[in-house]
Every structure is written in structure tokens, then in C-alpha cells.
Structure 1
Amino acid sequence: MRPAEALAPPAAPPGGRRPGDGAAPTHARKPSLDRLKAKMQALNCYVSHALDDGNPPPARVANAELTKSGPASPRGVQKEAAARKAYTRTPAPPRASPAPKGINLVPQGNLACLGVRSNSDPPEAEGHGWHEVSPTRFPVRGASYLADHKKLPSASAVFEAVSVDTFGSSAIEEDFAVRPGTSAYELLAHRADTELLILNIQLPGPPNLTLLHVFQRVKPAAGTVAPGAPRDAEAAHRLWDAFREASPDFRSHRLKILANPIGAPLAIRTAVPNRPAILGTRVPLRWHRRERSLEIVLDVAFSAVAAPAWRLMRSATTKIVLDLALIIEGTTEDQLPEQVLACMQWHKPDFSSPAQCPPIVSPRGGADGARPKSAPNRRPS
């Protein structure tokens, strides 16, 4: 007998027990139990990920490998735990809720909206576009103005700012409520409960520049102010309804504009004083009244006051921060206190690349004021 064979343990007999063994080993059936546990774990993992995208997660692959390889070892359990922790289930995409019937998203103009500007925010912020502002920035006639001539901050605004568009053209552009491709047209087409106030400022070029401000008021179901509204709101909405139905001459002599340059060079702050002015006495106005909209056209080119101010501002618009508000003048006790009709803020706007003005696809009409007697492509300098 060789020395190596003498040192080797005796071979196990056919029954599985070596000579000298006392009892049968206690782990004889453990491999099958571990396989069963591994199969159950794999089944549970499969059920928990049955709604996945079809790719087996790492934990499921680890369970399959454990099932093939036999009993679970501490290292295999650690691998499975690490695989489960690393696997992140992709959540299902959120289901989009349908929009209410007749209401679409508010269209955006091509001049960027920079958000809501607080009364305490400094004007040195970055960005080129326009801001929504609180009407409390603007002083208006109080309820006792006829007796004490005191002005107070406006409580609220009748209309809210929606969008601002800038268009370049060689002609006078107006009546945008019937022009597809503009935010005013889209709002009127998709919302039956909306009334619009459109401020159209025509600036001389070349090219001629159109600043189109769109403000909206959501009309109550009954066509009046909601019950329980403050007296200020009742007076302001009642005055607006009368203003809308009045003659163009009445509107031109009752609409006030308040332009406050809070950030601009000294020459511009001097040329644009911070006090309200009757708009029709400074700039020629034209009006386009439709069923649910009123457009005000300010033709700066034909104004002896506004045209020089625009020539001064034109090369420095990206340095100007200007608060702008429209107010209907209240002259009797039942028309007070006044309330801001609409307001917004120009914040360093960039007018160097205006969009092309949408074409007219329907005949003009509904104008309450005569257009100036001049060729559309010739504007005073």
C-alpha cells in the first residue's frame, strides 16, 4: 500500500455511512429545503414585478441563479439583497386629466412673461420681457375724493394681464380679435366666458412696431359681479360696463394712463412723469368693439407728445423698467373709489427682433374711430 493511500479516509459504503459514524448527518435534506425557499422567493419577486416593462430586475435574475446553483449561501443572500436595493422600479407615467370643456391653456405671447413682481422687489433683476404686478402700486381716487381729494392704492384690477406680443410691419396693424395666430383670437375662440381688453400701441419705425397687450376678465355666470363682492368691485365693474357701451369720444376723455418709470436713465424719467393723464388728449385713439372684446389703438406716430418720448426711449428699451396702468376716471360719487382697469410692467424689453404680424383673413370692421388719412406704409418720424 502506498503512503498516500494509507492516510486517506476509508471510502463510504453504498448506504452512505462510513465505518465509525454514529448517526446519519442532520443536514441530509437541507439542500432541497433551500431550493424550495429560493423558488418561493423567485415567485414572490416575479409577482411583485409583474407590471414592469418586461425586463427582469436584477433581484429576479439573482433568484434564478440561486435556484440553479443549489442551497443559498450567505454571499448569495448578500448579492440578492444588494440587487434588490439597486433595482428601482420605473413608475407609470401620470395620466393626464382632461381639461374642462370649453377651457384651454392660456396662450403665451412672444414677449416672455417673467412672473409676478412684488412691490418690494428691486428693479435690477435680470431678464427681458414683462411682469404681472399688483394694482396696489398705483394710487387712484378714493371713495371720498370729491371732498378731500385723497388718493389711495387700488384694491384690485378689473382685468388681469395674459400676454404681450411684439410684431413688426410696414403698415398700421389693428383689430387683432379677428386675426388667427394671436393670443387674443385664441382666447376668444376657446373660452366662451372671457372678455378681453386689448391695448394696441403703434410705434413708428422703420419697421413699424406693434405692442399688443392682452388682458382678460372672466365674466360671472349671471353677467354681473358675484354676490357679496366689495363695493369697490361693484363700482369698478359697473363703470367698465358703462364705459364699454359708451361712445368713442366719451371713452377717449375718460380713460387715463399711468406710466411710472421705476428704472430708466434720467432723461427718460424726466420725459415720462409719474402722474396719470387722460389718454385721448395726448395720443390719437381708435377703438374696435366686438361682442366680447374692446381694442384700444394708440397711434404714437401721430402724437406730438408721445412720439418724441418714444424716439428717446427706442435705443434704450433694454434698460427701462416701466409700470403701466389703465384707469377709468370716476367723476361722481357712485363711480368712486376708482380701481385699476389693467396693469403690467415692462422689464427691459428687447424689441430688436419682432415677430411677423399675422395676416388679415377676415374683413376689417367694428372700428369706432376713423383711421388717419395717410398711406399705411408712410408714418411720420
Structure 2
Amino acid sequence: MGAACSRSTDASAPSHPPSPPSSPRRRSIDAVRRSIDAVRDALGLHKREHQHWSETSCPWLSVRSETYDVDRAKTPVTRPMFMTLKHCDLFDQSDLKEGERLDVARRTAASWFRKQLDAERDERGKDGVRKVPWTFVFQFVNPDGAGLVCYFQPAFETGEGDDAATTATEVAARVERDAEASGLDADHAFARLFRRFLLEDNDNDAFRSERIKICAKITKGPAMLTQLVPTRPVLVGKRARTVFHSGKGTDLEGRYLECDCICADNSYAKYLYYTFSGLSSRSEEDVAIWIEGRGEDELPERVLGAVKFRKISPKTLTKV
């Protein structure tokens, strides 16, 4: 797949994407639906397991150990993921131009994150408190317009301060406080790397592009598919173009970070995708996402989050 290429479109994007006019009845129905969703989310009634996606622990995965810089040793993932998979949107974006397929967390009214924020805005009129945690969004932007959008939120190991972690700055500070409380070198290493990825290089997406890493494993499917998709870590920026969004210059600045992995710019990537997509309706695959650690002060690696996709086909996609 292609060479690394990263760019950001936050500054040029409109702060509020245009939406079609709606009737008072439609607006009323949408408000009721958002309120129901907010209640269900508060009570934990949103299922994080779906017919076509769910969380996974990736028991097959190994990542760089704290001594990797010396001995190249890797270790199985035994620690819980840093983030919880909250939802996946499976979109058919074939009628949209490329720019309209990106930054779905903010641009696309049908996105799970936008719905959460709409519900939050309704509630803030009552108590003025932000309720939606900072969210990491990873989207596979496929050549035929299929967009697989995964939404992750931090799952801190202690309960203190959860409600405050609604921005990137607050999340990074919380990770550092937890590292201080634990006293573990591994936690301090993750806190340093996570802050740099999230904040310190906020205007330099090249760093993010060269560090964001995924590993996929076909857990069920035709033998041909398992041969096509090797189970090994891949630096996303070396295999596809990546575009990052954080709401910069809008009222959502710092509320999320979205990584769009654009798989349509490279002929080999297209070949793999179209071969894979013909068999994906009969397959299941795990995908883990993390930041590559380099050097003693950034190791061991810790997985950000993971998703299991099941039997994805055009019929499973929602038209936007």
C-alpha cells in the first residue's frame, strides 16, 4: 500500500456542516429520539455488541515489551484496552465526494458521536454540564465508499474524575494522574507517548501518521482470505493516506480525535480491498489499534482499543 501522506482539513472545514431543512414535526421526533438515546446511554442500555461488530480482547496479539529496544521481545496483551469500543457506524458513502466522507464525527449527522453531542446540547440547557467523554474515532474509508467508523472512549481504571474527561487536555491529564497514582514505569511511559500523540504534536499530523498502528487477524472465513491478510502489525501511514481531525477552529475543538485511513489511493490496497470485500460477508476479523512505542521511555506498548467485525457486506451498510 502507499507511502505515508498526512494532512489535516480542520481549519478549512465549516464549523457547522449544512443540513437539509426539516419540518417542526421532524425536529420534534429527532429531539425525542436523542433524549431516549441519552437516557439509554446513561443507564448503560446501549449494547456494545452488534450483529456485525463487537469489542474483542485480541488474545492472539503481542506488542512491544518494555525491553523491546534492547532485545526485540514482544509480550501477549494481558492488560485491558485503554479505551472501550462504544459503537460502530457502517456507512455507505458512495454518493459523497472524498472530502465529505472524512471527519464523520463532526460532519455526518447520522454518526453516533454527533447524536451523542446533540443529546448533550439538549441537556446542557438544563444543567450546563458536558456529559460526552472525549472520543477517539477510527474510520476505514474504502474505495467503494464503504465507511467503517469505530468510536472509542477511555476506560480509566479508577472512577475518580471520569466526568471531567471531556476534552483531549483533560484526558491526557487524567492519564498522567493515574500514572502517578500507580507508580508503574509502564503507566508513565504510556502517559508520555499518549500526551505527545494527542497534544504536543497537535499541529504536526505527520507524527500521528507514522505512529498509529493496527493489526488485523481473520478469525473466521475462507482459507484464501486468511492467506491474503497476514497477521502482523502495520504502521497505517506507510500503507494508506491518513487524515486527522480534532474539530480545530470549531465549537468541538478538543472533544474528539478522528483518524481517517483512506484505502483508495494505492492500487495494491484497492486490489486487496476488492478481493477481501468479496469474501467479507463470510468472515470475521479482529482489528487492534495502538500507538507505536519507540525507545525506553515509550515502552511497553499499550493497545488503545479493538473491534471485531462480522460478516460485513453492502447490505449491512447505512446510506448517508
What range is the shorter-chain TM-score in? Answer: 0.5 to 0.7
Residue identity (%): 24
Q: Judging changes above 3 Å, is the alpha-carbon distance between structure 1 residues 105 and 301 closer, same or farther for their aligned structure 2 residues?
A: farther
2:116·2:132 contact (CA, 8 Å) conserved in 1? no
TM-score, normalised on structure 1? 0.58
2:211·2:292 contact (CA, 8 Å) conserved in 1? yes
Alignment match, 1:168: 92
Alignment match, 2:42: 104
CA distance in 2, matches of 1:182, 1:304: 29
Q: State which structure, 1 or 2, has the greater radius of gyration over its C-alpha atoms.
A: 1
From 241, 248, 259, give the equivalent of 2:195.
241
CA distance in 1, matches of 2:110, 2:45: 10
2:38·2:116 contact (CA, 8 Å) conserved in 1? no
Instruction: Give the deviation of 1:177 after TM superposition.
Output: 2.5
Alignment match, 2:150: 213
Alignment match, 1:201: 140
Aligned residue for 2:102, secondary structure, equals coil
Question: Which protein, 1 or 2, shows the higher relative CO under an 8 Å CA cutoff with sep ≥ 6?
Answer: 2
2:84·2:155 contact (CA, 8 Å) conserved in 1? no
Q: Judging changes above 3 Å, is the alpha-carbon distance between structure 1 residues 164 and 262 closer, same or farther for their aligned structure 2 residues?
A: same
Letter in 1 for 2:174: T
Alignment match, 1:113: 49
CA RMSD across the alignment: 2.7
CA deviation profile, 1:105-140 (whole Å, cap 9, x unmatched): 56969xx824xxxxxxxxxxxxx4112111544210
Q: Judging changes above 3 Å, is the alpha-carbon distance between structure 1 residues 237 and 107 closer, same or farther for their aligned structure 2 residues?
A: farther
CA distance in 1, matches of 2:281, 2:45: 25
TM-score, normalised on structure 2? 0.68
Q: Decide which structure has greater helix share.
A: 2
Q: Judging changes above 3 Å, is the alpha-carbon distance between structure 1 residues 240 and 302 closer, same or farther for their aligned structure 2 residues?
A: same
1:158·1:237 contact (CA, 8 Å) conserved in 2? no
Alignment match, 1:228: 181
CA deviation profile, 1:137-158 (whole Å, cap 9, x unmatched): 4210011111221111222222
Count of aligned pairs: 241
Q: Which runs of 5+ in 1 are unaligned?
A: 1-98, 115-127, 358-381
From 288, 301, 316, give the equivalent of 2:245.
288
Q: Judging changes above 3 Å, is the alpha-carbon distance between structure 1 residues 322 and 301 closer, same or farther for their aligned structure 2 residues?
A: same
Q: Which runs of 5+ in 2 are unaligned?
A: 1-36, 121-129, 165-169, 248-253
2:84·2:152 contact (CA, 8 Å) conserved in 1? yes
From 139, 142, 156, give the equivalent of 2:65.
142
Instruction: Give the deviation of 1:323 after TM superposition.
Output: 0.9
Alignment match, 1:12: none
Alignment match, 1:130: 53
From 185, 192, 216, give the equivalent of 2:131.
192
Aligned residue for 1:352, secondary structure, equals helix
1:276 to 2:233 alignment: yes
